[in-house]
Structure formats: structure tokens, C-alpha cells
Amino acid sequence: MREVGEKKVPKFFLYIFLTFASIISIFPFYWMFVIGSNTNSEVNKIPPALLPGPNFVENMQKVFERIDFFGSLLNSFIISTTITIAVLFFCSLAGFAFAKIDFKYKNFFFIFLLATMMVPPQLGLIPSFMIISALGWVDQLQAVIVPGMVNAFGVFFMRQYIASSIPNDLMEAAKIDGCGNFRIYWNIVVPAIKPAFATLGIITYMNSWNDFLWPLVVLKDKSSHTIQIALRTLNDAYTTDYPMILAGTFLATIPILIVFLIFNKQFIAGITEGAVKS
Amino acid sequence: MVEHNTVHSEAVDNKTKKKYRPKIHDALSGYLFISPFFILFAIFGVYPLIFTAYLSLHKWNVLGEREFIGVSNYQALLTNDPLFWKSVGNTFSIWVISTVPQLILALILAFILNQAFLKAKGIFRLAVFMPNITSVVAVAIIFSAMFGTNYGVINYGLTLFGLEPYDWKGSYLGTQLAISAMVMWRWVGYNTIIYLAGLQGISKDLYEAATIDGASKTQQFLYLTIPLMRPIILFTVILSTIGGMQIFAEPLLFGRGASNQGLTMTLYLYEEAFTRFSFGYGAAIAWVLFVIIILFSLFNMFLTQRIKS
Amino acid sequence: MLKKYALSLLFFVLFICLAACSEDDESSGSGDNGSGGSGGSGENVELTMWVFPGMGIDEQIERYQEENENVTINIQEAEYADHHQNLLTALGAGSGAPDVAVVESAYIEQFKVNPDQFHNLNDYGAEDIKDDFLEWRWREASSPDGSFVLGIPTDVGPMAMAYRMDIFEEAGLPTDPDEVSSQLSTWEDYIEAGRQIQDATGGYMFNHIAEIYGVIRDQGEEQYFDEENNLIIEESEQIAKAWELAVEAIDIQPGIERESTEYGAALARGDFATVFLPPWMLQRIKDDAPDTEGLWNVAQIPEASGNWGGSLLTIPAQSDHPQEAYDFISWLMAPEQQLEIFKSYGNFPSTPELYDHEEVQNYNDPFFTRDDLGVMFGEAAERVEYVYRSPDTSTVNTIIDDALTSIHDGSASPEEAWNNALEEIDRQISR
């Protein structure tokens, strides 16, 4: 890390450091594929298998037999995409308001918003289920989508980002030109915070993709299962077929990988365009 | 105190950009823009909170009658529950072991990944973010296999170097280190990505000017990057405070250990409610936990402000 | 401004509460025709059923629907722990519970003490089929006086003991099942044999200290509570015996839990010479350690048997179709269907008449050497004794298991562990 500063240290070491960090980060993902492509007995050998085996397709077939893999993948896709779009819009709007618009009790509302993040979620399951049940949303995707459409985390993140990256002068100028607040948001703020959109987008997408605590309470019918819930049902009560579970998990990770690459492209586009100059 | 603190932070934020300037005054659009969050919270968030508060004054096993017992749950929790205090201690020590290095490492990684000369940025960025994409369940299986006392990969590695295998699951330090490693591994990349977004917001001209003035990379990092990143750093500090206080999945999946050395506050709350069916007591834990998180977040906010100036 | 907000917020909460309460009255059962109630044959009924994976009942349910065209069964599957959490949530929330819910044996007591949440199966004819089932299993499904029946038993998990013949031989122990049974007839003998194995091979006798404790504990006539739910842990002879033997056996086990990822590796390497073996364990050994084929044999567990696993099929009180649901589950777990499930999946039946059936009698697996596994498990099932358990039994179990494990970890002496456990038990069961 000290390498960064000392001018004499060749970039070579930087790359070594990054490569090392990357290997540590990727290894469990790789190992997931290793186990997912072997049999239980292969996995139980000492030293453990470190290379992919020949059983991936076989394990995948077991997964397909037991769960509606693509159906639940589609549900996850619908949920995550809708949530992400809604979150990006609502959170950036609210973040903009908190960062750049003055209104009464703003601090109170903001503190309140922060405080909501500090509530431990586990005990909310029963009362939240009562609400969903009263709305008649059990086994319907909106039971997961609607509560997730805007979150304190996103608002907070957008507020911090907008506060640090959009100069006030720019706002003043637009105001003098007669722009309304929404026009300022749409024409000035949105284009300037692309990196924030990419970041919040990937984080939101991934969170809702991997979430299971809440979905499993409200989505019980097989037709409404998300991929994470479906994958959990691969776990039998008395025995665990790790290769099958990890093969399924591996395959279910590929879609978010693709989503990441899409956002990543946006992200890099954001870099080259450069930030707003003051 | 709360109000004062934020007002102060606003002022600090604005000092970095010229002087304080009144922003746009427009209450209507302000309320309109923030309303989606508060509407959703009113529908889905308020009732659970009230319900939990109500429950915490009762003895309730979820399925039977509720019995009103006043503040007895709180009393028992605060005066006669060593396990709870143990879980508080565990949560804080795991938080320290995992969060502090995690944020520092993330900031450094982000700074490196933001360098113009760096090749293959996209690949490194993906690699670093990979842990967050990997599902928790898989992570737990893999980490408990890695930290296995008898046949874990890590102990296997230790023996290759002629060292004694370590009892990760049975020892205090071992369990906390393993859980912290899992937490760190999962969240470094996440924070890196957030910092990266923040770095994108800093004008390149400033770095160019600094380079022309002869500032080294370390100096740029310390005197340019960190101050300009304040809002984002504050954000990650608060976030990892809240997240760290609510660590749940990792100890649940890794195992809390026979001496409860990995028992965190939220895990305790969850077990109380969903394995022992003591929902009233669990609700009391939830509220105490809520207060602890608020206090600790304020403390950290205060600390981060201090470090800035 | 703030007041107005607070006020509207308050109204909103009220509204939600009202909505939640009014829902209760309508009672959101499943099925479209809310007429519900008794009789009901002929009408079209949809029954929602919650199960966890690996129950092996899908084909039979399919058959039931073919034979009863007016009944549709909607199976909803969730992972074991998720399933029970969902059931708890739906019952606690007062809505959303299914017509039929599986309750695994580890959860039976906690649900059984709240009979209001379930239909009493005696009201629908469970009395008549009572004698089809193992007596101890039926008593576990009922209230102590037998007036309330929570559910119909599915399979059972009677335990035998698998042992590695090669390791036994190396240690100079007999390898023939009958000789093993007679030489290892008490737990003291078993531990003695374990020491002999350790001296001869350096290997272990079994996997984890809490497991031997659990097996011995379940062989007694009483455990932690009497039938009035008074804590009698300090008076119970069986608990004292189980604890002492487990502590004594601490050096002949490596401390590997059955749920851990390491268990498979240890099994494959032959780290322990014996495995306490419910029928569902057979497949697991074959999966984890295929190379050990032919090295195993099976004998009875010292002193008595024990049970590990099995479930009940219950009908939550929220169901509008208890009679139809009862007709369905009593059919599903009738001996004929249990036989089919056994044939396809090896789930061991809870109806003893099947133990004389040739399918069970001839059940065997060359992997485990002896050719009468079915007979063994049948005998083991009939040797299981009924023990009273309270809703706090599993809480106490967890604390004791942890205490034993902490002795193994070296973080407490047996005395400290026991005293700490007693203190913690007092605190936890009072909540």
C-alpha cells in the first residue's frame, strides 16, 4: 500500500498487489465452481479438490429436476430490475432534495431517515407479514417489490454524492435561467451523477437478487419463488448435497455478473466524460 | 445534540466549496421529492416498530396468549443476562476487527483503481466486487470448509508451513477472526466501489494542479482525496457502523460456537424469537439494540468529524 | 407542520391496524368456496400444503388427486428452517397458514402446547387410526392425556449403529454383528471399545460428544421436565448418566458435528469407527464415502434404541377445510402409502404392521454388509421408548450440547460447564 506513494516504486508492484487482492476475492467464487463440478466424495478428499471436475452438467441436471430454475430466475429478474429502476429514480430525487433544496425540518427528516436504517429487521417479519397479508399480496411479486422501491441507504448515498459533486454555483445559474427544481434535477443533476447511478444500481440489483429473508416469508408458492428461495429448497432436511447446491448457486450468479458488466460499462463511460467541473 | 451535529456538518461541507451560500428555497418540491420514502415507511415501517415496542412489554411465545409484564423484559435484559452483554462485546470486537481495516483497505484500493495509467481497470474492479456478488450461502459453505479445524484448507496450508493447525471453531479468537474475515472479504469490494464513485466526482483538474505543484501520490491521497471525499467517507463509516452492529448472516452460517464466542446481538435476538419463541424478550432486545446502534453511530459521526478537522 | 404529519401518520397506523384486524374475521383460508366445515365431499376443494424438501411424498399426492378429482393439492416447499419460520410467522400473524403443514419432530413440542392454533385431529377421526402407528410416536403427537392430537406421523428415524469392520478388527474387537452387540451391550463397554480402538489405531470411536449424549439421553424414561413442566434436570438419573458418560468419552471423539462441512471428509477417511445410524443416514454415508463400501456392518445401539427425525402432518386452525385435509393426510400416511414411500425413498414407516411386510423384511444394502437392515430398523423402532418432552426441551438441549462442546474446546471444565449451563437454563426458560 505504501507502494502508491513512493514515486520510485515501479507500477509493477501495484499490479502485484491488485492481482493478489483479486485472487483472494475471486477464489471462493472459483471454488464454488470446483465443488459444483465435482461429486461429494471428490470434495471430501484431503487435500481437497482444487480443479474443476467433470460433473457440472450432471449436478445442474439435478438442480433443474428439483426446482423451476428458469421460472424463478425470471421472477428474480423482474423483482430486481423493477426495484433497481425505482430506487435509482426515487433515491436520487430525494437525495437531491436533501442535498440541494432548503426546506423546513429538513434535518429532522434526514435524521429520521438515518434512524430507520438502525432498526434491526429480524423482528419486523411478523407485523410486516400482517400488512402484506392485509393487502392481499401474499405470493405476489409486489410484496417484495413495493417495500423495496426506495430505501434509506440509497437516499443517504445520493445525498452525500450530490453534496460532494454538484457545485452550488451551477444550481444558482440554472435557477437564474428559470429552471424549476425538477428540470434542474433532470437536466443537470442526473447527467452529472452517472457514476453514482452505476454504483447504486449495481448495489441495489445485487442486494435484491441475493435477498431471501423477506421474500421467503411472503413468496411461498413455487410460481412466485425467487432464485434464492428456490436454491434454498435444494437443501434437504437430513442430508446436504453440496455439489448440487453450489452448481445451482454458481449458475444463478451468472446473471448478476452480466448486470455488473453492463453497469460497469456505464461506470467507465462516466469516468471518461469526467466529472462536472467547477 | 443531533440537530447541532448535522448543522455543523453542513457548515463544514460548504466550507470546502467557497463560502456558505443559501441554496434553493422551495419547500413544496422538497417535500414532494422526499415523500416516496416516507410514504413507504409509513405503510411498511411504522407498524412493525410499534408492534415491536408493544411486544417488548409482554411475554409472548407467538402462538399463545400475550401476557403483559411491564418492563420486566428490559429489567432482565439489563440486569440478569450475561449472554446479552457477551453478544454486545462480541459485536463490538468483530466490528473493530472487520470494519477498520476494511474501510482503509477499500479507500486505498479505490485510489489505485482510479489512477489514469492503470490498465485492465474493468477486470480488477469486477474482481474486487466479486465477493459481493457471490451468494452468502455459498460463502458460508466455503468459509466453513476453509476454516475447518480438522480438514480446512487454511489449516492444511498451515501444516504445509510446518505450523500447528488452529482450532477456528472452538476458540474465542479463532471464531471471531473467521467471522471477521468473512465480513471483511464480503464488504471491502463494496466499499471500494462506493469510494470509486466518490472519486469520479472529484475534478481531474485538481489532481493535475497538484501534480504540477509537485505533490506526490501519497500527498495527493492525504491532502486532496481524503478531504474531498469527506461526505462519502462519512457515509461509509455510518453504513458500516449500522451494518456491523447488525451482523447476522455470517455468525448464523458459520456457527456461533459452543461458548457463544461468535454470538452477535442480532443473532441473539433472532434465536430468542425464532428458535426459543420468546418474542417479547426478543422485542426488548430489538429496542435496546436500536438504542445502542443510534448511540454508536452518533459517536462515530462525531469521531469522523473530528478526524476531518 | 410537524403536528399535522404526526397526526396523519397516526391515522395511517390506525388504518393499517384496522385492516389487519378485519382480515382476521374474514379468515383468509385457501380454497374458493368458503363454506368449509365438515363433510364437504363432492365440492371442489383446494388444499395448500407446506412441506420441506426431501419428504418423498409427491407421487402419492399425485395419486390422491387422481383418485379424488374434487381435491387439488397445492404443495409449497421451503427449506427446513425457513419452512418452520414461515409457519410460525403465519400462525403468529393470524393469517396465511396452509391447510396442511409439516412439523418436524424437533419442533413438535413448541407447536403442541398451543392447541388453539391447530385443529384437533381427534375431532375428525384420528382415534380410529391410532393403533396403526407406533405407540411412542403417537404419544409424541398427542397431548399427555391423549385428548388432543396435533398431527399424523410421517416416517420415523429409529437408530442402529454402523461400525467399520476393518477398524474393529485392527483393534481386536469382534466384527460379527451379534458378537458386537453382545460385547458392546452397555455404554461402558462401548467407551471401553473406543479406548481399545484409539490405542490400536489412533482413530476415534464416534464424531461428536453432543451426539453420544443425545443418544443416551433419549434412552431414558424422563428428561429435563416432568409432566407438569417442572425442571427436574438435577434429579434425572438418565441425564446424569448421559452427561457423565459423554464427558468420559471426550477423548475418543474428534468434535466433528454431523452438520459441519468436515463431516463428509472425516467419514471418507474413516476417522470414526461407529456412526449412530437412522435409516436416512445410509444414503449419506454412501454419498460422502463411496470408497468405504463393504467395510461397514450394522448392529444395535448399546442398551436401547433411539429416534432421530420424522415429522407430523398437522392442520392449522386457520384452515377452512379441516375434514378434507384430514381425509387427505390420513390417507397419505396410511400403511399402504407409507409402504410406497418407503419403496421409492427409503423413509422408514411409522406403522409397525409394515415391519413384517416383505419389502421391509428384505430391505438391505450390500454397502453395509448385512442383508437384513429392514429387520434391524424395525426392531429398533419398536424398542424406542416414549419420553415426555416440554416446549423448553429443545432450549435446554441446545444449552447442554454447547456446554459439552465447550468442554471439548477446552474452554470450560466439566464442572464449570455444567453449572453455567444450569444457570443459563434457569434464565432462558423463564422468558
Residue C302 and residue C187 share a domain:
yes
Chain B CA closest to residue C15: B43
ipTM over 0.95: no
Contact state of C89 with A222 under an 8 Å Cβ cutoff: no
Comparing CB atoms, the residue among A41, A129, A239 nearest residue C280 is A239
Which pLDDT band, with edges at 50, 70 and 90, does B135 fall under? Answer: confident
Report the 3 state secondary structure along A112-138: HHHHHHCCCCHHHHHHHHHHHHHHCCC
Which chain C residues have a beta carbon less than 8 Å from that of B171?
409, 411
Reported as a single tens digit per residue, the pLDDT across A204-257 is 999 999 998 899 999 999 999 999 999 999 988 877 888 999 999 999 999 988
Residue A172 and residue A117 share a domain:
yes
Asked whether residue C216 is assigned to any structural domain, the reply reads yes
Which pLDDT band, with edges at 50, 70 and 90, does A267 fall under? Answer: low
Cα separation, B184 vs C235, in Å, equals 47
Residue C346 and residue C262 share a domain:
no
> Above 60 in pLDDT, residue C139?
yes
Percent of residues, chain B, with pLDDT higher than 70? 91
Q: Is A246 on the interface with C (CB under 8 A)?
A: no
Task: Supply the range of the domain harboring residue C258.
Answer: 158-307+386-429
* Contact status, residue B257 vs residue B169, Cβ threshold 8 Å: yes
* Contact status, residue A199 vs residue B196, Cβ threshold 8 Å: yes
Contact state of A5 with B216 under an 8 Å Cβ cutoff: yes
**If you average pLDDT over every residue of chain C, what do you get?**
89
Contact state of A237 with C54 under an 8 Å Cβ cutoff: yes
Which pLDDT band, with edges at 50, 70 and 90, does C18 fall under? Answer: very low
Residue A104 and residue A124 share a domain:
yes
Residue C127 and residue C48 share a domain:
yes
Percent of residues, chain C, with pLDDT higher than 90? 82
Residue C314 and residue C298 share a domain:
no
Which chain A residues have a beta carbon less than 8 Å from that of C79?
216, 232-233, 235
Asked whether residue C8 is assigned to any structural domain, the reply reads no
Nearest CA-CA distance, residue B282 and chain C, Å: 10
Contact state of A101 with B30 under an 8 Å Cβ cutoff: yes
Comparing CB atoms, the residue among A100, A108, A114 nearest residue B23 is A100
Residue C215 and residue C325 share a domain:
no
Cα separation, A114 vs B297, in Å, equals 10
Lowest mean pLDDT among A14-18, A99-103, A274-278: A274-278
The domain tally of chain A equals 2
Which chain A residues have a beta carbon less than 8 Å from that of B242?
117-118
Q: What pLDDT is recorded for position A248?
A: 94
Residue A127 and residue A195 share a domain:
yes
Asked whether residue C235 is assigned to any structural domain, the reply reads yes
> Above 90 in pLDDT, residue C70?
yes
Residue A82 and residue A178 share a domain:
yes
Chain B CA closest to residue C400: B258
* Contact status, residue B63 vs residue C114, Cβ threshold 8 Å: yes
Task: Supply the range of the domain harboring residue A22.
Answer: 1-54
Mean pLDDT in residue range C52-71:
94
Chain A CA closest to residue B206: A277
- DSSP, residue by residue, C265-287: HHHHHT-BSEEEE-TTHHHHHHH
Q: What pLDDT is recorded for position A271?
A: 52
Contact state of C96 with A129 under an 8 Å Cβ cutoff: yes
Question: What's A167's domain CATH number?
Answer: 1.10.3720.10
Q: State whether residue C29 is helix, strand or coil.
A: coil
Asked whether residue A178 is assigned to any structural domain, the reply reads yes
Which chain A residues have a beta carbon less than 8 Å from that of B118?
14
Helix (H) or strand (E) holding C365: none
> Above 80 in pLDDT, residue A51?
yes
Cα separation, C171 vs C165, in Å, equals 10
Residue A263 and residue A167 share a domain:
yes
Nearest-CA neighbor of B214 among A79, A7, C323?
Answer: A7
Reported as a single tens digit per residue, the pLDDT across C316-367 is 999 999 999 999 999 999 999 999 999 999 999 999 999 999 999 999 899 9
Q: What pLDDT is recorded for position B99?
A: 92
Residues 6+ apart with CB under 8 A from A182: B29
Mean pLDDT in residue range B185-193:
92
Nearest CA-CA distance, residue C397 and chain A, Å: 19
Which pLDDT band, with edges at 50, 70 and 90, does C5 fall under? Answer: very low
Mean pLDDT in residue range C169-198:
95
Asked whether residue A60 is assigned to any structural domain, the reply reads no
Comparing CB atoms, the residue among B46, B258, B278 nearest residue C431 is B278
Reported as a single tens digit per residue, the pLDDT across B147-162 is 888 888 889 889 999 8
Cell of B167: 482450532
> Above 50 in pLDDT, residue B246?
yes
Contact state of C268 with A45 under an 8 Å Cβ cutoff: yes
Q: Which domains does chain B have, with CATH numbers?
A: 83-308 (1.10.3720.10)
Q: What pLDDT is recorded for position A269?
A: 56
Asked whether residue A220 is assigned to any structural domain, the reply reads yes
Residues of chain C that touch chain B, judged by Cβ-Cβ distance less than 8 Å: 9, 12-13, 16-17, 20, 85, 88, 91-92, 110-111, 113-114, 116-117, 254-256, 260-262, 265-266, 271, 391, 394-395, 398, 401-406, 408-412, 424, 427-428, 430-431
Contact state of A133 with C23 under an 8 Å Cβ cutoff: yes
Report the 3 state secondary structure along C391-411: CCHHHHHHHHHHHHHHHHHCC
Asked whether residue C10 is assigned to any structural domain, the reply reads no
Q: In a mutagenesis test of the B interface, which of C104, C256, C261 is the best target, namely the one with the most B β-carbons within 10 Å? A: C261
Residue A178 and residue A48 share a domain:
no
Q: Is A217 on the interface with C (CB under 8 A)?
A: yes
Contact state of A221 with C76 under an 8 Å Cβ cutoff: yes
Residue C334 and residue C409 share a domain:
no
Q: State whether residue C375 is helix, strand or coil.
A: helix
Residue A202 and residue A125 share a domain:
yes
Residue A96 and residue A1 share a domain:
no
Q: Provide the sign of the torsion angle of the four alpha carbons C106, C110, C112, C117, taken in this order.
A: negative
Which pLDDT band, with edges at 50, 70 and 90, does B236 fall under? Answer: very high
Comparing CB atoms, the residue among C13, C391, C406 nearest residue B50 is C13
Chain C CA closest to residue A44: C265
Asked whether residue A278 is assigned to any structural domain, the reply reads no
Which chain C residues have a beta carbon less than 8 Å from that of A229?
78, 82
Asked whether residue A59 is assigned to any structural domain, the reply reads no
Nearest-CA neighbor of C297 among C166, C425, C395?
Answer: C166
Asked whether residue A177 is assigned to any structural domain, the reply reads yes
Nearest-CA neighbor of B181 among B142, B149, B150?
Answer: B142
Asked whether residue A209 is assigned to any structural domain, the reply reads yes
Cell of C122: 381427534
Residue A264 and residue A127 share a domain:
yes
Residue A222 and residue A131 share a domain:
yes
Comparing CB atoms, the residue among B3, B33, B126 nearest residue A107 is B3
Contact state of C1 with A221 under an 8 Å Cβ cutoff: no
Chain B CA closest to residue C317: B63
Asked whether residue C379 is assigned to any structural domain, the reply reads no
Asked whether residue A61 is assigned to any structural domain, the reply reads no
The domain tally of chain C equals 2
Question: What's C296's domain CATH number?
Answer: 3.40.190.10
Nearest-CA neighbor of B63 among C214, C211, A247, C318?
Answer: C318
Contact state of C77 with A104 under an 8 Å Cβ cutoff: no
Residue C219 and residue C324 share a domain:
no
Residue C251 and residue C122 share a domain:
no
**pTM confidence score:** 0.87
> Above 80 in pLDDT, residue B86?
yes
CA A260 vs CA A70, A83, A273, B103, B132: distances in Å: 20, 16, 20, 22, 11
Q: What pLDDT is recorded for position B29?
A: 87
Chain A CA closest to residue B297: A118
Asked whether residue C105 is assigned to any structural domain, the reply reads yes
Residue C285 and residue C204 share a domain:
yes
Percent of residues, chain A, with pLDDT higher than 70? 92
The answer for B302, left when phi > 0, alpha when psi is -120 to 50, beta otherwise, is: alpha
**Which partners does chain B have (≥3 C-beta pairs < 8 Å)?**
A, C
Q: Is A51 on the interface with C (CB under 8 A)?
A: no
Residue A94 and residue A42 share a domain:
no
Reported as a single tens digit per residue, the pLDDT across C198-245 is 999 999 999 999 999 999 999 998 999 999 999 999 999 999 999 999
Residue A252 and residue A156 share a domain:
yes
Contact state of A222 with C54 under an 8 Å Cβ cutoff: no
Q: In a mutagenesis test of the C interface, which of A31, A112, A130, A249 is the best target, namely the one with the most C β-carbons within 10 Å? A: A130
Chain A CA closest to residue C22: A134
Lowest mean pLDDT among A64-73, A134-143, B203-212: B203-212
Mean pLDDT in residue range C17-39:
38
Asked whether residue C365 is assigned to any structural domain, the reply reads no
Residue C168 and residue C279 share a domain:
yes
Q: What pLDDT is recorded for position C37?
A: 39
Which pLDDT band, with edges at 50, 70 and 90, does C27 fall under? Answer: very low
Residue C229 and residue C189 share a domain:
yes
Which pLDDT band, with edges at 50, 70 and 90, does A270 fall under? Answer: low
Which pLDDT band, with edges at 50, 70 and 90, does B24 fall under? Answer: low
Chain C CA closest to residue B153: C262
Which chain B residues have a beta carbon less than 8 Å from that of C91?
62-63
> Above 60 in pLDDT, residue C170?
yes
Q: What pLDDT is recorded for position B249?
A: 87
> Above 80 in pLDDT, residue B133?
yes
Asked whether residue C278 is assigned to any structural domain, the reply reads yes
Which chain C residues have a beta carbon less than 8 Å from that of A233?
52-53, 77-79
> Above 80 in pLDDT, residue C426?
yes
